[in-house]
Amino acid sequence: MSEQLPTLKDALALGLTEAEYDLVCEKQGSPPNQVELAMYSLLWSEHCAYKHSKKLLVTLPTEGPAVVMGPGENAGAVDVGDGLICAFKVESHNHPSAVEPFQGAATGVGGILRDIFAIGARPIAILDSLRFGDIEESERSRYLLEHAVAGIGHYGNSIGVPTVGGEVYFEAAYEKNCLVNAMALGLGPREQLMRSAAAGVGNVVLIYGASTGRDGIGGASVLASAELGEGDDDKRPTVQVGDPFEEKKLMECSLELLELGLIVSLQDLGAAGLTSSACEMASKGEVGIDIDVRKVPLREADMEPFEIMVSESQERMLCVIEPKDVEAVRAICDKWEVSSAAIGEVTDTRLMRIYSDDELVGEMPVEALVDDCPIYDLAPQKPEEQLYDAPPVRLDASAGFGDALVALVGSPNISSRRPLFEQYDPIVQSRTVRRPEQADAAVLILPNGSALAASIDGNGRRVAADPYRGTLGVVLECASNLACVGAQPLGTTNNLNFGNPEKPHVAWQLTEAVRAIADACTALEAPIVGGNVSLYNEGASGPIYPTPVIGMVGLLPDASRAGRLGFVEEGETIALVGPFKPSLAASELSKLRGEPLPDGLPDIDIEAVRAAQIAVRDAVREGLIDSAHDIAEGGVAVALAECALAASLGASVTIDDNGDAWQALFGEAPGGFIVCGHATAIAQFSERTDLTVIGKVTGSELRIEAGSALIEVGLDELRTSHRALEELFQ
């Protein structure tokens, strides 16, 4: 190893600080060479090391009766009965998607699917959570949206995994940093559950899947560990290029190898490529690993050792197998036309040793690479002034109640997402019971007739107004969505999308949001089984809205009784259920009016909300109510409009205005549900929980009274407004 050693300047260019570089030199006993510095820089990056969030994450609840695999593995898993587990996780591909939206989003889907089958589960569903800038004003945001959605559809549709749900919001704060979060669910036998810890000194390390190229070098791990600035289009080459057809073969090959019991441990190659997968496997197993980069199948023959170790080429897996099984494993790979190569072995040295043929080109202690990355304390401080500009005025102050409802139903954050989700196949694999716009959560039937429900939620606007209470609302919203289809939460995954944590105001947002997730998940008995952190989402104009995205999976005993959101039958009774205390603070109506974000949101009674969720869940399961929809963006009036539009049935409703009709009609808060059913069933339901009968399903018009306020609007007019997003893409 006689080449010229990298300098401090090189280390700084790779994202290490001067103090971190000094620590690397101390751990190594000398300045690192090119391979070693590249590996340290990636494993010590924010994306891989979570060095600004790890201390917060350990405060989250991770244990529960259904949890069979928690944080630290490729994905979490919960028991769903009959010897089956549901694996699920959410991850981000934000910075790559801001640079190259199609491939950034597509490879984000590919990466989360590999996390699922890496633990032995077959992927059965995808959900996505997206954030973009103001698409009514910004051509760039429309471009990012169109291409990100196309990328998600391309990968999911091609590989044959349905996209069954999701959400998308548009806010000016995401103009420079769009968010692309992908969640996946998988189903598999519990006895096939696979962990990633390398084991067995002398066992073979084998790579299989696509060949390794220069695409993605320094990609996600570098892009996601610093702020994006002007001129970042030059980072386009660092975005990976995905091939869903290659991943389909890789998935089937992996699942067959696991079914045959030929694999000791398995890890997908994601951010930081071979470096992260091999080092994390060695760390978890408390072993060493030797790798010969010249045995790695390459797409480009002249690649340097460091390039091979940090490449983020897609559709690759790394496994540990016993020497006697090498031929059998390679035969299965050949069957699926998947390239494979034995590239190293497990050792007892606790070292990562990188060879190029017979030459040792890198030698690092595993503990130093993975476990000794410096972990930083945050310095949270609430900002003295509002961080975000007020939105433009989109609704005149003189607008009446009816005009406000029509405007809200057609606003970007509430209008129908049909132009987007119609690009996805929601029913491939034939498990989908409830698809987008049919219910508040996706529902997937299980072999025994029970069903899984899944929901993904976030509301950056409300979290920006109050990081703690806003995040409580996000978690409760996710659980409410499950309740509306009759599902009990089993576990939760989260993706924390925030700005630069080194800044006190962002550290405060992050700290408060994690505190809220811990409190809400504890109260709901829906522990965290895994997730992702995406920081440094900001540019010169400031941070994004703090956006904790929550994914939740639940179980319902009878798929045939899964709830729906649309009214069912004319003449049925409509009721308002739950401890709903609406407020216009940080609401969608306040946004349309151009009002700045408030300093705080009203308190939330978590236990009261949970009690309402349980009541609604049980009523759906028993068939007491025919439809259920939680009240979210736009308040009661918008919730009623959505129920009516989903069924093409009108309603006549009267609600108590409590002295403020605007707030009663359009205020937002957790814990409210609109339910519908026959009068006798609603009366029976009222004996179990507090509810207020507010009207009936009738006609082709939505009529809402609130004190002296009156809304009368035809469903055709509402439907036309609700399709406003379609006009932006014509």
Residue 219 has pLDDT above 50, yes or no: no
Question: What local confidence, expressed as pLDDT, does residue 238 receive?
Answer: 57
Residues 331, 421 within the same domain = no
Same domain for 458 and 522, yes or no, is yes
Pairing of the two strands 528-534 and 488-497: parallel
Q: Are residues 418 and 477 in the same domain?
A: yes
Cα 338 to chain center, whole Å? 29
Question: Which of 47, 95, 154, 505 is flagged as catalytic?
Answer: 47
- pLDDT surpasses 70 at 690: yes
Q: How confident is the model at residue 227 (pLDDT cuts 50, 70, 90)?
A: low
Contact status, residue 313 vs residue 275, Cβ threshold 8 Å: no
pLDDT digits (tens, 9 = 90+) for 174-192: 999 999 999 999 999 999 9
Q: Is residue 690 part of a domain?
A: yes
Instruction: Identify the CA nearest to 269 among candidates 445, 43, 490, 118.
Output: 118
Domain co-membership, 440 together with 498: yes
Whole-number Cα distances in Å, 544 to 62, 267, 459, 482, 509: 28, 32, 12, 28, 11
The residue assigned the tokens 């979290």 is 463
pLDDT band at 539 (very low <50, low <70, confident <90, very high): confident
Output the average pLDDT for the chain: 94
Supply the pTM of this predicted model: 0.95
Chain segment 93-103, per-residue pLDDT in tens:
998 899 899 99
Catalytic entry in 93, 154, 505, 722:
93
Query: What is the mean pLDDT of the segment spanning 716-730?
Result: 88
Does residue 2 surpass a pLDDT of 70?
no
| Residue 215: domain span | 194-374
Do 533 and 614 lie in one domain? The reply is yes
Q: Do residues 663 and 582 both lie within one domain?
A: yes
Asked whether residue 235 carries a pLDDT value surpassing 50, the answer given is no
Q: What is the CATH number of the domain that holds 684?
A: 3.30.1330.10
Residue 302 has pLDDT above 70, yes or no: yes
Give the per-residue pLDDT at 236.
42
Domain membership flag for residue 298:
yes
52 is known as an active-site residue:
no
Residue 222's pLDDT band (cuts 50, 70, 90): very low
Q: Is residue 519 located within the same domain as residue 630?
A: yes
Burial of 417 (0-12, 13-18, 19+ CB in 10 A): middle
Residues with Cβ within 8 Å of residue 630, at least 6 apart in sequence: 440, 477, 480, 481, 483, 484, 639, 672, 673, 674
- Summarize pLDDT for 472-517 with one digit per residue, the tens: 999 999 999 999 999 999 999 999 999 999 999 999 999 999 999 9
pLDDT band at 141 (very low <50, low <70, confident <90, very high): very high
- The pair of structure tokens assigned to 28 is 């190594």
pLDDT at 467 over 90: yes
Half-sphere exposure of 576 (CA within 13 A, CB side): 22
Q: What is the mean pLDDT of residues 303-312?
A: 94
Same domain, 368 and 439: no
Distance CA 391, CA 383 (A): 19
Tens of pLDDT, residue by residue over 82-120, are 999 999 999 999 988 998 999 999 999 999 999 999 999
Q: Two tokens at 613?
A: 């969720």
Residue 71 has pLDDT above 70, yes or no: yes
Q: Is 381 within the bounds of a domain? A: no
**Is residue 706's pLDDT more than 60?**
yes
pLDDT at 240: 72
What pLDDT shows up at residue 218? 55
Element at 258 (helix H, strand E): helix 244-259
Same domain, 487 and 539: yes
Q: Is residue 101 part of a domain?
A: no
Q: How far apart are CA 219 and CA 213, in angstroms?
A: 12
Which 3 state secondary structure label does DSSP give 104? Answer: helix
Handedness of CA 591, 597, 598, 602 (dihedral sign): positive
**In the predicted structure, residue 309 carries a pLDDT above the cut 80:** yes
pLDDT tens-digit series, residues 352-386: 999 999 999 999 999 999 999 999 999 999 999 99
Beta sheet of 339-347, edge-to-edge order? 265-268, 316-321, 204-209, 339-347, 288-292, 351-356, 359-365
- Co-location of 350 and 474 in the same domain: no
Placement of tokens 């006895």 in the chain: 191
Q: How far apart are CA 230 and CA 541, in angstroms?
A: 11
Q: Report if residue 33 sits inside a domain.
A: no
| H helices present in 29-122, as ranges | 34-43, 46-49, 54-57, 94-99, 101-117
CATH of the domain at 208: 3.90.650.10
Domain identity same for 625 and 672: yes
Helices 34-43 & 273-285 angle (0-180, nearest 10): 70
| Position 229 confidence tier, pLDDT thresholds 50, 70, 90 | low
Tell me the torsion sign for CA atoms 636, 637, 639, 640. Answer: positive
Nearest to 51 by CA among 41, 61, 60: 41
The pLDDT assigned to 310 comes to 94
Q: Do residues 347 and 418 both lie within one domain?
A: no
Model confidence at 39: pLDDT above 90: yes
Cα–Cα dist 532/665, whole Å: 36
Whether 147 sits among the annotated catalytic residues: the reply is no
Residue 160 · residue 124 · CB < 8 Å: no
Average pLDDT over every residue of 699-727: 95
The tokens describing 433, both together, are: 């019971």
Tokens 């066992």: give the residue: 203
In a domain, 36, yes or no: no
Count: domains in the chain: 2
Looking at the DSSP assignment, which residues form a beta bridge with residue 697?
Answer: 651
pLDDT single digits (tens) 426-459: 999 999 999 899 999 999 999 999 999 999 999 9
Write the pLDDT tens digit of every residue in 645-665. 999 999 999 999 999 999 999
Which pLDDT does position 1 carry in this prediction?
Answer: 42
Residue 535 domain flag: yes
User: Does residue 177 belong to any structural domain of this protein?
Assistant: no
* Mean pLDDT, residues 528-542: 92
